[in-house]
Amino acid sequence: MGLAPLVAALLAAGGADRALAAEAAGEVVVGAALDLSGPGAAEGKEARDALIVELDRANRAGEGIAGRGIVLLVVDTGGRPQGAAEAIQTLAREREAAAVIGPAGIPEARAAAREAGRRRIPLFTLTAPEELFDPPRPWVFSTAVPASLGARAILSHMTAVGATRMALLGAGDSQGAEGRSQLSALAPQAGISLLMNEAYRREEHNFLPFLHQARVRGVEVFVHWGGPAAQLALVRARMALDLGIPVYFGTVLGSALDLKEAGRAAEGVVFPAARVAAAAILPPDVPGLREITEFREAFIRRHRRPPEGVAGFAADAFRLMVSAMRAAGPSRARIPKYLVDTRQYTGLTGRFDFSEANHNGLGPDSLVMVRLKGGRWTLVTVPGER
């Protein structure tokens, strides 16, 4: 792979040459495998920008790791599983990184996890597909909110409002498939019948047939698990049909849906959101609110925009990794041993309770329920609130 795709996230002059000189000087090298040029580039760049903020924070006043500075090397996976595997190889073998953060895409994470296991290097993925963590893999951890938590939050709200008949429409990609899988598995336990379970193609923009079918079948609630362009098309189709079926979105990590463009069509939509993305509406007694606020302020100062949920995942991964190395040393073998004994660690995303059996450790507090009302995000504070 060589140096061409390497980016030194250290903002000092010299780029990759500066990073390589830092390695030679005995500084601690950590890696990131992120999509910076492929289909997941928006999330990859968001994670990279969060890591830049955290790198500055960790190296401030010369703290680093036991007096040694930290160098962050980011490898562009191109959004390809093979690119992710090659990134792990490069960071583990050529750059001798202590640990790696990323990727944020499910197919890439699968490939990265396999390679991390072969190379015996700690990996903090920024996505949490069930297959990677049940059963847990010794070298793989995640700071992302699993789809199962979003599914449980949606189903809990449905139960509270008395809904029992659901339609489910998911994007025909790995993220959509994960959401559909979790919702369809958990719905019967919540006493909810799944009357429709459909996937749509990436290029699909006509959701009128899906909504019409839902109305014919007597569906009470409609769940859409996909991206903002499809979300916008769906709520516009609902308004065109003058359909009163309540709509839920799958877990939302940011504010990509243009609420001004959506207008009245998005009114009343409910969804679970990551805490960093929903920071402006969090109640004052939320654990870790001060840290979330400080991170957001630092991110905005650096990048001139607010962070989204994946930025919180990346920042949590970096902080946990640094905590492990400060406590146990920058040893690949010691980082997982430290993490599995970490309990009640309040991060930006939520509280982490890791164990030998749980390499994600997040619970329901990592999400808040949000309703779109008057073109704004509002907090759902009453379980049965409509």
Residue 200 · residue 259 · CB < 8 Å: no
Considering the domain architecture, whether residues 326 and 204 belong to the same structural domain is answered as no
User: Does 213 reside within a domain?
Assistant: yes
pLDDT per position in the chain (386 positions), as tens?
Answer: 333 334 444 433 233 444 444 454 579 999 999 999 999 999 999 999 999 999 999 998 667 898 899 999 999 999 999 999 999 999 999 999 999 999 999 999 999 999 999 999 999 999 999 999 999 999 999 999 999 999 999 999 999 999 999 999 999 999 999 999 999 999 999 999 999 999 999 888 899 999 999 999 999 999 999 999 999 999 999 999 999 999 999 999 999 999 999 999 999 999 999 999 999 999 999 999 999 999 999 999 999 999 999 999 999 999 999 999 999 999 999 999 999 999 999 999 999 999 999 999 999 999 999 999 999 999 997 665 65
Considering the domain architecture, whether residues 19 and 139 belong to the same structural domain is answered as yes
Considering the domain architecture, whether residues 171 and 276 belong to the same structural domain is answered as yes
Torsion of CA 199, 200, 206, 212, to 10 degrees: -10
Identify the pLDDT of residue 13: 27
Identify the pLDDT of residue 159: 95
Identify the pLDDT of residue 282: 96
User: Does 18 reside within a domain?
Assistant: yes
Identify the pLDDT of residue 17: 43
Identify the pLDDT of residue 149: 98
Residue 100 · residue 116 · CB < 8 Å: yes
User: Does 26 reside within a domain?
Assistant: yes
Considering the domain architecture, whether residues 218 and 171 belong to the same structural domain is answered as yes
What are φ and ψ of residue 348, in 5° steps? -70, -35
Considering the domain architecture, whether residues 355 and 262 belong to the same structural domain is answered as no
Considering the domain architecture, whether residues 151 and 256 belong to the same structural domain is answered as yes
Identify the pLDDT of residue 10: 41
User: Does 385 reside within a domain?
Assistant: no
- The encoded tokens of residue 255 equal 């504010």
User: Does 243 reside within a domain?
Assistant: yes
User: Does 386 reside within a domain?
Assistant: no
With a CB cutoff of 8 Å and minimum separation 6, the contacts of 148 are 130, 182, 186
What separation in angstroms does the CA of 63 have from each of 14, 15, 20, 326, 374? 22, 22, 20, 10, 46
Q: Which domain holds residue 18?
A: 6-145+290-362
User: Does 168 reside within a domain?
Assistant: yes
Considering the domain architecture, whether residues 112 and 232 belong to the same structural domain is answered as no
Considering the domain architecture, whether residues 226 and 109 belong to the same structural domain is answered as no
Considering the domain architecture, whether residues 254 and 296 belong to the same structural domain is answered as no
Q: What's the CA gap between 297 and 85, in Å, rounded?
A: 34
Considering the domain architecture, whether residues 178 and 313 belong to the same structural domain is answered as no
Number of structural domains, the chain?
Answer: 2
Considering the domain architecture, whether residues 116 and 211 belong to the same structural domain is answered as no
What are φ and ψ of residue 29, in 5° steps? -100, 125
Residue 89 · residue 1 · CB < 8 Å: yes
Identify the pLDDT of residue 205: 87
Look at residues 296, 288, 249 and name the one whose alpha carbon lies nearest to residue 272.
Answer: 249
- The encoded tokens of residue 384 equal 């049965």
CATH number, domain of 322, equals 3.40.50.2300
Considering the domain architecture, whether residues 242 and 312 belong to the same structural domain is answered as no
